[in-house]
Amino acid sequence: MAKMNLLQAVNNALDIAMAANERVVCFGEDVGVFGGVFRATSHLQEKYGRARCFNTPLVEQGIIGFANGLASQGSVAVAEIQFADYIFPAFDQIVNEAAKFRYRSGNLFNVGGLTIRTPYGGGIAGGHYHSQSPEAYFAHTPGLKVVVPRNPHQAKGLLLASIRDANPVIFFEPKRIYRASVGEVPEEDYELPLGKAEVVREGSDITLLAWGAQMEYLELAAELADKEGISCELIDLRTILPWDVETVAASVKKTGRLLISHEAPITGGFAGEIATTIQEQCFLHLESPIARVAGLDVPYPLALEKEYIPDQWKIFEAIKSSVNF
């Protein structure tokens, strides 16, 4: 075990993946010599050479188009999009191409070797274009997997699993806690399962569900609730698509209540999908409406960021409302 922050865990996972399989190739804007603007790819070019870790020209649609082609050829393509806010020029290559590659060819060709890494989320004074959480856009797209880790240990295991998964994966990295989240991480090669949520804390009164950086607020809110005698069960969804209905439904059947929190604007966010599925599966168990604590329906603001964030206080209030319904 070693103490690592989330960035180091990502870097370590990439290092291990590249060492274990020479077909793994990492690329993106400033990913080469510089090691990425967050330094997630530090030293990889030094270690594995320019052919396997390199800068691309500044063109996201090209990066993902290139990655699709490279993956279809049989290489393992790990593409970085510098900020999740800049993934949209590549939307067509992701949604129309990567997601449909295997299906449309009847499995003659596939881009299972593709992983897209990208830092997402706010709380870093990034304004509209360095703060977005676009996971829901991709979660409406059959053929993709969407993964978000909450801490260094999860990041390493989930990223290694994503790189090796036989399907295209978008791996969203919570940049607010890139350095702040520090923890023990096994030094060896390990994978955590995709498509499986994790119950990180058991409780009996209400189920709290989130992913990525938002898990921190959930935990703080659960502590606040604890003090009021409300017992919260905490679930980290980890994989947004395909998501683990079973684990969530089992928890809600037990607690009778569900609160989902994400940073993205509330309307059309992925909480809607979860809530709808759960109200269907757990209708007779629900003691109060499923609650959402999410971003407002506005572009991510700068000066009013603190007010925008679905923080522990908002979650705590929603917990109380749900329990007192």
Partner 1 sequence: MNTDTKDRTIYKPQFIRGDALKIPTYRVLKQDGSLYKNAQAPEVDQPLALRIYSSMVRTRMLDERGLASQRQGRLSFYMQSTGEEATTVGFAAALDDQDMIMTQYREQGALVYRGFTLDEFMNQLFSNALDYGKGRQMPIHYGSEKLHFMTISSTLATQLPQATGYAYGQKLAGEGHCTVAVFGEGAASEGDFHAALNMAAVLKVPAIFLCRNNGYAISTPASEQFAGDGIAPRGIGYGMHTIRVDGNDILAVLEATRQARKIAVEQNEPVLIEAMSYRLAAHSSSDDPSGYRSNAEEAKWRDLDPLLRMKNWLLQQGWWSEEEDKALFEADRQAVMAAMKKAEKVGRPHIDEMITDVYDIPPAHLQQQLQDLKAHIRLYPEVYPKSALQLDAPEGVNRG
Ligand X SMILES: Cc1ncc(C[n+]2csc(CCOP(=O)(O)OP(=O)(O)O)c2C)c(N)n1
Residues 6+ apart with CB under 8 A from 323: 205, 206, 230, 257, 288
Amino acid at 60: E
Closest CB to ligand X among residues 20, 125: 125
Site residues for a second copy per CB under 8 A:
61, 85, 88-89, 91-92, 95-96, 99-100, 103-104, 128-129, 136-137, 139-143, 241-242, 264-265, 267-273, 275-277, 279-280, 283, 286, 288-292, 297-299, 325
292 binds, among ligand X, partner 1, a second copy, none (CB under 5 to 8 A by kind): a second copy
Binding mask 16-35 for ligand X (x = CB under 6 A): -------------x------
- Give Rg (Cα) of the chain: 19
Active site residue 130: yes
Contact at 8 Å (CB) between 260 and 289? Answer: no
Is 86 an interacting residue with respect to ligand X (CB under 6 A)? yes
Closest CB to partner 1 among residues 70, 209: 70
204 binds, among ligand X, partner 1, a second copy, none (CB under 5 to 8 A by kind): none
Which residue among 29, 60, 135, 263 is the active-site one?
60
Active site residue 60: yes
- Token pair for residue 234? 């905490």
279 binds, among ligand X, partner 1, a second copy, none (CB under 5 to 8 A by kind): a second copy
Is 115 an interacting residue with respect to ligand X (CB under 6 A)? no
Amino acid at 130: H
Helix (H) / strand (E) containing 254: helix 245-255
Contact at 8 Å (CB) between 300 and 122? Answer: yes
86 burial type by CB count under 10 A (0-12 exposed, 13-18 middle, 19+ buried): middle
